[in-house]
Structure formats: structure tokens, C-alpha cells
Amino acid sequence: MQTKKSWLERAFYAIAYELCAVMLLMLMASWLLSQDTAQIGVLALMMTTVAMSWNIVFNALFEWLERLRGWVRTPALRVVHALLFEGGLVVLLVPLVAWWLEVSYWQAFLLDIGFFLFFLPYTFVFNWLYDGLRASLLRRLSRARAGMA
């Protein structure tokens, strides 16, 4: 059963998720795109702000539904989680990218597909690693508390 996460932990998770992603994306974007690095950097910060906000809200709702339905995070459920998360980001980010880069919605959508192709496996792997590390930490804390009692 999933242990309920505090808002502080959700914020930590979202910041860790986004910092790792931004570092990887900035390396890739500066290599692949012919846009000014500063312009891409500002766009990345704007996108990160939107994504972090979406991350906190989406995961709180998903985990609430998970507890309500008694779901276990199987690989299939992790795929559903990642697809829903990234699908929501497409809706939120395409207009932002189109406006900032002064491109059509179609071009922004194609760029967002590139981001999606990066973030889909990234989200899956990051969440799997985070959940594993979190479970290990909670087990250790539980054993330490039991030893103190």
C-alpha cells in the first residue's frame, strides 16, 4: 500500500524531477536546436514552472485515485501514469512554446512530441527509481523506530 506523501515531499519530488530533466534537456537542446541558448533556457524555465505545478497537482490526484481504488504500481500502471501526465503537459505547453518561439501550433506540437519522446521514458524511469529509493528509506526508518521502541 502506498504511504501518503506530504506536500513538502511532493515539492521535493517535483524539484528533483525537473532539475534532472532540465539538465538533460539543456544539453540535448543546445546540441540539436538552432535556437539561441538563452531563449531556450528561458523557455525551459517557463516550461519547468508549468510542469512542476502540473506534477504536484497531477500526482496528488493520481495517488488519491490509487488509494481509493487500491491500485498497485505495476509496470502497466506506471505506463498509464506517464502517458496521462505527459498528455496533460501537451495541452498546457504547446501554446506556450508556440508563443515563445513564434512558431505555429503545429510546429510547437511537433517540438512537444520531441519533448514527449524524451519525457515518457524519463518519467517512467525517474518514478520507478524514486519510488524504490523512497520505499527503501521508509523501511529503514520503520526498522530504526522499531529498534528504538
Please check whether residue 2 lies inside any domain of the structure: no
Residue found under cell 517540438: 111
Higher local confidence (pLDDT), 26 or 14: 14
pLDDT at 99: 94
**Rounded Cα distance, 129 and 78, in Å:** 12
Length of the chain: 149
Please check whether residue 138 lies inside any domain of the structure: yes
Query: Domain total for the chain?
Result: 1
**Rounded Cα distance, 86 and 96, in Å:** 15
Higher local confidence (pLDDT), 65 or 34: 65
pLDDT at 2: 60
Averaged pLDDT, 106-119 = 85
Task: Report the percent of the chain where pLDDT is more than 70.
Answer: 97
Helix (H) or strand (E) holding 70: none
**Rounded Cα distance, 37 and 29, in Å:** 8
| Other CB atoms within 10 Å distance of the CB of residue 52 | 17
Please report how the helices 37-69 and 7-32 are oriented relative to each other, as an axis angle in degrees rounded to 10. 140
Structure confidence by residue, pLDDT tens digits, 36-47: 777 777 888 898
Structure confidence by residue, pLDDT tens digits, 122-142: 989 999 999 999 999 989 988
CB 13 within 8 A of CB 63: no
**Rounded Cα distance, 86 and 126, in Å:** 14
Question: Domain limits at 76?
Answer: 7-148
**Rounded Cα distance, 83 and 36, in Å:** 30
Please check whether residue 1 lies inside any domain of the structure: no
Which stretches does DSSP call E strand in the chain?
Answer: none
The model's pTM: 0.61
